[in-house]
Amino acid sequence: MNTLPYRLGEKNRLSTTGKHKGSILAFTLMIILSQTSVAQDLSNPDIRAVTLTGSLITAAENYSIPGLQTNKPVNTARLYFNPTLTIYEVQFPFSFMFSTNERSYNQPFNQFGVSPRYKWFTAHAGYRSLQFSEFTLSDMLILGGGAEAKGEWFHGGAMYGRFKRSVEEDTAQNILPVYKRMGWAATAGFGSSVNYFDFNVVHAWDDSTSLTNRPLKAFLFPEENLVLGTKGRVALIEGALAFEGELAGSAYTRDRNLPEVQNADVSAISSGIYSTKLSTRFNLAMKLAGIYNTEEYGVRLEYARVEPDYQTMGATYTQNDRQDITIAPSFQLFDKTLRASGSVGFRSDNLYNDRSYTTNRVITSANLTWAPSQEFGIDGQYSNYTMSNSSAAFTVSDSTRVENVTESYSFSPRYLLLGEEVQHFFMVFITKQSYADRNVLTGQTGSNNVMTGVFSYIATVQSGFNFSSALQYTEVNTLFLTNNIRGITLGVGKGFFDNTLNTNLSYSLNLTKASSESETDTQHLLSLSGIYRLSQVDSFDLRMQFNSYTAVNPNRASYSGTTTRLQYTRTFGFGTK
């Protein structure tokens, strides 16, 4: 899909004035707002008017590991108080923290928003992040107000407010200036979640009078943006086959101070909705998908195209200049004991063929699960990310060629053996990650791979004991060095007094060796923990660890010491019953 054939000065330039000729259309459409935020349903009779919940935590820590360079104090005491006041499901969370080293206080009113709902009507006030669609209003946090209505076959709404706050320039602190950005967004649609059609509008502009001082060093110009988009979905064959898509057009003005375009064709296209200026450009974005699903298999085929310089003020970031083709099949067989899913995607940029090089990406992933019984199962994953460049305005040479592959896969069988007295669980996890740089000049130094294997065993005894063990091996390979880490972990746990007291003891031994060294670094970790529950709302938690690391290379630190933490927790709730 190409942009409109108006190229005024630069690629895809149209134009706009700052007088907002589309204001009548704006307020006509401001009866809508799709996708809800968290809302408070005032029509529910079970909602309590006021509740107070939260937790109080006191903790004392001792950190004594000579030889390990950290900024931690030896002894620390902390008090955490986290109450939440709820009024008709509107939450006001507070947090207080006091310690021997610092104090902090947080309250919810820096960015506070509320969305009370009554039956089919929802109001929005304060900071709200609404979602219309990917190419119109996506994740922008707006300070303002709006409303939303949802009927059986109709939905709509609108939001007006501040998209960005102003920031004054500070050359001493390297703070760049930002104009205050105001705007509105609206959506209207009909249909259900299975079949629907929506129309979305976003209009935002910078207030050039919002800065007290004129920027001295930064090149800052007031901008403006109008986005019109449609989004829909149609399901056929009792929902087995579905088509969905989105199409959006964005008129983006880089500098509202520039003159308006005097062109009859441009004026006819804008139709008084948006005044074009010499810095205005128009770009399109689209996404189409076809989905087919049955009980045993399914497939999704998707195509997306976002033109260079496409931008919407309704999103914090939109990746443009890309064309994507993705196919994602899935199936489940043998009474759903075998399940597999995957995807293959192709992405390329340089849609206008005006870049130095074209970048191509191939993204592949696959997941497989086989569980023929409750006791046995196997999981497998694979992913591959390949990136390369090809000639465009310039010819690719050996020094400028980009061709690299990031690949990972994992394999994990598991087995559960159920007995009358003891339950045994065995699992093996093997994974490998690799990065290959295929450039003839940098490939040897840039390539690397990491392989990890873990075998773990857990035994749960009916008497309350549980035993765990694990063996681990990790190998890191680069051109210059090979490191391997071998480790073993043993653990035992036991519950006492009807599990009001739970204790755990574990020991780990890690051996690290580099290929450039003949000796091996050794680490011992011994951990002891216990949690005692006085009641449903009170508990004590004690954790102790001994950590000893012996390095064979004097350039690395050797250390040995202990850490201890004692914590008391109490939760509370008033008005919840």
pLDDT over 80 at 435, yes or no: yes
Please choose, from the candidates 94, 150, 118, the residue with its C-alpha nearest in 3D space to the C-alpha of residue 40.
118
21-30, 242-251, 273-282: least confidently modelled range: 21-30
**Predicted local distance difference test score (pLDDT) of residue 47:** 78
Rounded CA-CA distance 410/415 in Å is 17
Q: Give the residues across from 228 on adjacent strands.
A: 201, 249
Mean pLDDT of 243-249: 97
Cα dihedral 170, 174, 179, 184, rounded to 10, equals: -140
pLDDT tens digits along 455-469: 999 999 988 899 999
- pLDDT of residue 208 exceeding 60: yes
Distances in whole angstroms, Cα of residue 167 to Cα of each of 162, 177, 214, 254, 406: 13, 5, 12, 19, 41
Q: What is the pLDDT of residue 178?
A: 93
Query: Pick the residue with more confidence: 540 or 269?
Result: 540
Q: Is the pLDDT of residue 153 over 60?
A: yes
Retrieve residue 113's tokens. 């928003």
Per-residue confidence (pLDDT) for residue 3, from 0 to 100? 35
Q: What is the mean pLDDT of residues 343-354?
A: 94
pLDDT in tens, 357-380: 899 999 999 999 999 999 999 999
Specify the pLDDT at position 113: 83
Specify the higher pLDDT residue, 444 or 427: 427
Tokens 């007006």 identify what position?
160
DSSP assignment letter at 4: P
Average pLDDT, stretch 555-570?
93
Quick one: pLDDT at residue 271? 62
Q: Are 55 and 572 in contact (CB under 8 A)?
A: yes
Contacts for 313 with CB less than 8 Å, ≥ 6 apart: 140, 163, 181, 183, 202, 204, 223, 225, 227
Alpha helices in 113-174 (DSSP H): none
Site of tokens 């040479």:
397
- Residue identified by tokens 């935002």 is 204
Which position has the higher pLDDT, 9 or 263? 263
| pLDDT at residue 10 greater than cutoff 60 | no
Residue 218, φ and ψ in degrees, nearest 5: -80, 140
CB atoms within 10 A of CB 430: 16
- What is residue 266's predicted lDDT score, i.e. its pLDDT? 66
Lowest mean pLDDT among 67-71, 210-214, 290-294, 485-489: 67-71
Q: Rounded to whole angstroms, how far apart are CA atoms 91 and 35?
A: 21
Separation of alpha carbons 179 and 219, rounded Å: 12
Question: What confidence category does residue 87 fall into, taking pLDDT thresholds of 50, 70 and 90?
Answer: confident
Per-residue pLDDT at 239: 85
For 88, residues 6+ apart whose C-beta sits below 8 A from its C-beta are: 40, 42, 47, 49, 116
Cα(60)–Cα(567) distance, integer angstroms: 7
Name every residue whose Cβ is closer than 8 Å to that of residue 234 and which is 6 or more positions away in sequence. Answer: 195, 242, 243, 244
DSSP strand pairing (121-129 vs 154-164): unpaired
Using CA atoms, how far apart are residues 366 and 378, in angstroms rounded to an integer? Answer: 14
- Residue 303 banded pLDDT, cuts 50, 70, 90: very high
pLDDT in tens, 158-196: 999 999 999 999 888 889 999 999 999 999 999 998 999
Residue % of the chain over a pLDDT of 70: 89
Confidence (pLDDT) at 306 = 97
Range in 104-113, 203-212, 257-266, 497-506 the model is least confident about? 104-113
Cα–Cα distance between 121 and 545 in angstroms, integer? 55
In the prediction, which pLDDT does 283 show?
A: 95
Mapping DSSP to helix (H, G, I), strand (E, B) and coil, where does residue 301 land? strand
Helices (H), 355-456: 443-446
3-state secondary structure 438-468: CCCCCHHHHCEEEEEEEEEEEEEECCCEEEE
C-alpha span between 169 and 176 (Å, rounded): 5
Tell me the C-alpha distance between 251 and 260, whole Å.
14
Q: Write the pLDDT tens digit of every residue in 499-537.
A: 899 999 999 999 999 887 778 999 999 999 999 999 999
Position 109 scores a pLDDT of 63
- Look-up: residue for tokens 């899935």? 330
User: What are the tokens at 384?
Assistant: 């591959």
3 state SS of 44: coil
Token pair in block for residue 36 = 């809800």
The answer, yes or no, to whether residue 33 has pLDDT greater than 50, is no
Using CA atoms, how far apart are residues 310 and 307, in angstroms rounded to an integer?
6
Q: Give pLDDT, residue 367.
A: 97
Question: Where does the pLDDT of residue 264 fall: very low under 50, low under 70, confident under 90, or very high at 90 and above?
Answer: low
For residue range 52-77, list pLDDT tens digits in order.
999 999 999 999 988 777 778 889 99
Please indicate whether residue 249 or residue 270 has the higher confidence score (pLDDT). Answer: 249
**H helix count then E strand count, the chain:** 3, 31
Is the model's pLDDT at 430 over the cut of 60?
yes
| Residue 38 one-letter amino acid | V
pLDDT at 111 over 70: yes
Q: Residue 156 in 3-state DSSP?
A: strand
CA distance 486 to 473: 5
Residue 38: pLDDT over 60: no
- 20 pLDDT above the threshold of 60: no
- Using 50, 70 and 90 to split pLDDT, how confident is the model at 272? low
Mean pLDDT confidence for 146-159: 92
- The Cα 470–Cα 209 span in angstroms is 65
> Alpha carbon of 528 to those of 177, 337, 542, 557, 562: distances in Å?
53, 40, 8, 25, 11
pLDDT at 103: 74
How far apart are alpha carbons 218 and 169 in whole angstroms? Answer: 8
The closest alpha carbon to 82, from 68, 92, 71, belongs to 92
Q: What is the mean pLDDT of residues 425-437?
A: 95
Confidence of residue 24 (pLDDT cuts 50, 70, 90): very low
The percentage of residues in the chain with a pLDDT greater than 90, rounded to a whole number, is 63
Provide mean pLDDT across the span 124-151: 92
